[in-house]
Every structure is written in structure tokens, then in C-alpha cells.
Amino acid sequence: MDQRPLGLLTIHVKRGINLAIRDARSSDPYIVITVGDQTLKTRVVKRNTNPVWNEEMTVAIKETNVPIRLTVFDWDKFTGDDKMGDANVDIQPYIEALKMGMELLRLPNGCAIKRVQPSRHNCLSDESSIVWNNGKITQDMILRLNNVECGEIEIMLEWHEGAGCRGVTSSKGGSSSAT
């Protein structure tokens, strides 16, 4: 089996919205992103339930059906960090858009390729558009956090196929049909 990644997925972690309070009056949130055996972490934003991170995290995607999990924590100096909710990122619609390949070159800038509706199969809190923009496909999404009383996370996905990547249009292994 080919061990090269299909591509690199950059997750732009933009901000948190109405996150849960875990300290006296606020929280010190950070996000841990887990994809297979890869784990990435944002910086801690002190005393803020509406933090702005604006950080880019890039992970190698080897199979399109490997879950991407975002977990929000409240940093604590003297005790264990408190969990503030989690969300899974469903990249299947995004991967399907990437598979359009060369057909995308005919689209005008800003064209929505696909609109993804919130459902019980994703953590979307609102409709999410997959957009062709300046030669790239991006997807903005607001994710509703699970296992917590409140909170959402705003992110954007962006795909890169660099040297040594298999690519999604030529991939047979690792992709799953999303119906």
C-alpha cells in the first residue's frame, strides 16, 4: 500500500464563539486537533470565551475517512485542563469537490461548488459552502461543540497537493463514497 499522503489539509482555526465558562468568570481556551496519529495544538487565549486564534494547522491526509477531531480545553495552571467540548470535521463533501479536478478551472472566482447543510452526521451549526477562489478550494464552517452546554468554533479548510503527495483525483485507496 502506498504510504504517501493524498495531500495536506490546512485547517485555519479562526475563532471560538460563546465558549463555556470553566474558571470563575471566564476560560483560557485552546484547541487540540487530532487526525490519526497527528496532534496539533493552538495557543492558549487567556480569559476569553470568544477567543480569536487565526492560526493555521496543517495535517497530512493519508485516507479521507480518518476522522478529524477538534477538542477545546480550558488551560489551568495548577490543576488538569478542563474539557470544553469537541467536534468532528466531516471532510467527505470537501474531498468530493476536490475530485472535480480540471473541471474547476472553468469556474469563476468565488463560485460555490457545493453547499453542505447541518445534519446529525456533521457538527455544522449553519450551512457551509465549498468555494472555488483564486485557484484553490476552501470551505468555511462553524462547528457546534458536543458534550458541553454551549460553544462553536469557526474554521476554514484548504487543500494542498505538494511534491510526494498522491492527490485525490488519482486515488482509489483511502477514499470512501459519501452518500
The tens digit of pLDDT for each residue in 83-129 reads: 999 999 999 999 999 988 878 888 899 999 999 999 988 999 999 99
Q: What pLDDT score was predicted for residue 28?
A: 96
pLDDT-derived band at 176 (thresholds 50, 70, 90) equals: very low
Q: What pLDDT score was predicted for residue 102?
A: 77
pLDDT-derived band at 164 (thresholds 50, 70, 90) equals: confident
Give yes or no for a contact between 27 and 18, defined as CB atoms under 8 angstroms apart. no
Nearest to 133 by CA among 106, 156, 162, 111: 111
**Residue 172 clears pLDDT 60, i.e. is over it:** no
The tens digit of pLDDT for each residue in 13-62 reads: 999 999 999 988 899 999 999 999 999 999 999 999 999 999 999 999 99
pLDDT-derived band at 2 (thresholds 50, 70, 90) equals: confident
Could you tell me the CATH superfamily of domain 7-160?
C2 domain (2.60.40.150)
**Residue 169 clears pLDDT 90, i.e. is over it:** no
Amino acid identity at 174:
G
Please state the pTM of the whole predicted model: 0.90
Cell numbers that stand for 116 in this block: 453542505
| DSSP assignments along 101-168, one per residue | GGGGGGSPTTEEEEEE---TTS-BSS-EEEEEETTEEEEEEEEEPBSSSS-EEEEEEEEE--TT---S
Average pLDDT over residues 120-142: 93
pLDDT-derived band at 1 (thresholds 50, 70, 90) equals: low
**Residue 179 clears pLDDT 90, i.e. is over it:** no
